[in-house]
Structure formats: structure tokens, C-alpha cells
Amino acid sequence: MPTIKTQALTHIYSQGSPFESIALENINIEISQGEFVGLIGHTGSGKSTFVQHLNGLLLPTGGRVLLDGVDLNSSKKLRHEMRFKVGLVFQYPEYQLFEDTVYKDISFGPRNMKLSKAEIDERVREAAGFVGVPEEIFEKSPLELSGGQKRRVAIAGVIAMRPSVLVLDEPTAGLDPEGCESILKNICDYHEATGATIILVSHSMEDIARYASRLIVFVDGHAVMDGSPEEIFSQADRLRTIGLDVPVATDIASRLKQLNIDVPDCCYTIPQLKNAILSLKKEGTPC
Ligand code: ADP
Ligand code: MG
């Protein structure tokens, strides 16, 4: 089960050309098996560039990415293995559906792993189940599906490789609130059922607050904050300076505090805030 570590990871696009741009600079992060990590930051802060290093899709222009202590740069074979161990769901993955049926699309990864037909079939059905793709649509063309269904098929295609690390780059972008909620719930269920590491890139504080147990904040190619949701959201002023919002529940809690209503610091989801307010009402004490 891999531990991923980046040491002084730097990535410069088009290095040495007039178009040179520093996308990541000196990133030192260690992610252990089973963690649910949220990566947050503005567009252009380096999130997508960072996650593409985790399975060797991009190679560092400086520093290293280590998998269980082994440098990904050192071995082509290891990078090949990593493509299956670290499943990367790109932003708008539905644009990468290309087979003529849903079944073939979901089975693409396992087929590349040279598994038996029976094992491929088992994995396709399991992955489809995780993300709510009904078996009745297996023989449909992905082109016939709604946007939300296409997204699910694309995620199932990565899950079918049973990655021990699942990286999702803005998996809810462009979906309606119900679609967002249901896909995030599916990811959470996958995490609980398999113990896989989840790395979720999102620009939504609300999503991250609800699901991740660790948050890493990216600003201009630097990882500037790294901690539990409590630790990160307690620094509301710093987040606002960066131009990021705290979750709505945290904002309401801090306004209540300004009114001398004694809600605790731990409120960053609506259910937590609700419990805190209800317990105040009942007992006059915080949650
Ligand atoms: P995010 O995912 O947080 O929006 P990105 O990793 O996509 O950030 O981008 C980080 C920086 O790298 C940005 O300045 C972006 O313009 C630049 N960048 C991203 N991809 C490329 C690329 N293929 N070529 C050149 N510059 C790029
Ligand atoms: Mg991105």
C-alpha cells in the first residue's frame, strides 16, 4: 500500500523557452495510505499539475516523487505500474470516453492490465455499482448518456483498475447540486469500502469540508497550508487573504460568535452547525 512523498517537487512548463512558466515550486508533501485529502486553490494554482505527478504522467523538472521511498523517475517499469495503482480521473473525464459501448469503456483499464475475461467482468460490474451506473446501459453508446451519467462511466473506468490511490480532479465541475452530492457520496463509499487513498481536487470549500480529513491549500504553485479541516478553517482571515472562502457554516458560526453566542470552533458543515445550535438551545452549552 503506497505512501506518496514529494520532495522539493518543482514543475516548470516549457522550461528554457520564452513561454516558461513555473507551475509548482518546492512542494514537500507526504500522503499515507487511506487518507482522504482535499486539494484546494484558485484556477492556475498548480493543483492539476501536482496530481499528474502522482502517477508519473508528468515528471518533475526539479525535486522528486517517491512511492514507498522509490523515486518514480528512476524506473519506467515503476511508472507503468503506477498508472494502475494511482487512478487519475481528469477534469471533465467524459471527453475521454471513446469506445462504442459503456461496458467497453469501463473495461478499458482492466483489459490493459491483461486480466482474465471473468476478472474484467467482475471489476466492471463492481466499479459500475460503486458509481451508480446501471447494468441496463452497459450496451449503450456513451454518446447517448446524460452529462452526469457520462461522468460516472468515466469514473467507473478508473475505479475498475482497483487503484489503491484514487485521484479526482474537480470531479463535480459542471454538474447540478444533486449530481455533485451523489458523486461525492459514491467517492466516500469507495473510500470506506476499499481503504483506498482519496485525493480530491476541488474549488468548493463546502465539498472539501464535508469529505476530506486533511486539506492542502495551493497558491501560485506553492502548498501554503496543510492540516485538518479544523486547523485550516480556524484560519479564516488567512484564507480570505488568499481569496478563498471558509465554508458557509464556519462563516455563520463566526458571525454568531461576534453576537456573543457561544458556538464552538469545530463547525464547518451544516449538520455540525445545526447540532451546535440545537445543543445551545437545549442545554445552553455548545456541541
Ligand atoms: P490548477 O489545476 O490549479 O488550475 P494548473 O496546474 O492547471 O492549475 O496550472 C498551473 C500553472 O501552470 C498555470 O499558470 C497554468 O497556466 C500553467 N499550465 C498548466 N498546464 C500547462 C501547460 N500544458 N503548458 C504551459 N503551462 C501550463
Ligand atoms: Mg486544474
Question: What are the beta bridge partners of residue 170?
Answer: none
Torsion of CA 31, 23, 98, 203, to 10 degrees: 70
Pairing type for strands 36-41 and 214-219 reads: parallel
CA angle (212, 213, 215) in 5-degree steps: 70
Give residue-wise pLDDT tens across range 33-67: 999 999 999 999 999 999 999 989 999 999 999 98
The span from the CA of 154 to the CA of 142, in Å, is: 10
Q: Is 272 in the pocket of ligand 1 (CB under 6 A)?
A: no
Positive or negative, the CA dihedral 256, 259, 261, 266 is positive
Phi-psi region for residue 208, left (φ > 0), alpha (ψ -120 to 50) or beta? Answer: alpha
% of the chain beyond a pLDDT of 90: 65
Positive or negative, the CA dihedral 261, 265, 270, 276 is negative
Question: What are the two backbone dihedrals, phi and then psi, of residue 147, each rounded to the nearest 5 degrees?
Answer: -55, -45
The span from the CA of 200 to the CA of 27, in Å, is: 17
pLDDT of amino acid 287: 45
pLDDT of amino acid 36: 97
Q: Which residue has the higher pLDDT, 220 or 279?
A: 220
Q: Are 105 and 98 in contact (CB under 8 A)?
A: yes
Q: Which of 11, 49, 208 to mutate to test the pocket of ligand 1 (most atoms within 8 A of CB)?
A: 49
Mean pLDDT over all residues of the chain?
91
Tell me how far the alpha carbon of residue 203 lies from the centroid of ligand 2, in angstroms. Answer: 9
The 3-state DSSP class for residue 63 equals strand
Q: Are 256 and 247 in contact (CB under 8 A)?
A: no
How does residue 284 score in pLDDT terms, banded at 50, 70 and 90?
low
Q: Is 52 in the pocket of ligand 1 (CB under 6 A)?
A: no
Q: Is 191 in the pocket of ligand 1 (CB under 6 A)?
A: no
Q: Is 15 in the pocket of ligand 1 (CB under 6 A)?
A: no
Helix then strand then coil, % of the chain, to nearest 5: 45, 20, 35
Q: Which residues contact 156 (CB under 8 A, 6 or more apart)?
A: 106, 124, 127, 128, 130, 131, 133
Counting every residue written for the chain, the total comes to 287
pLDDT of amino acid 1: 57
Give residue-wise pLDDT tens across range 82-105: 888 999 999 999 888 999 999 999
Q: Is 23 in the pocket of ligand 1 (CB under 6 A)?
A: yes
Query: Which stretch of DSSP H or E encloses residue 154?
Result: helix 147-159
Q: Which atom of ligand 1 is nearest to the CA of 19?
A: 25
Q: Which atom of ligand 1 is nearest to the CA of 50?
A: 6
How does residue 140 score in pLDDT terms, banded at 50, 70 and 90?
very high
Ligand number, closest to the Cα atom of 12: 1
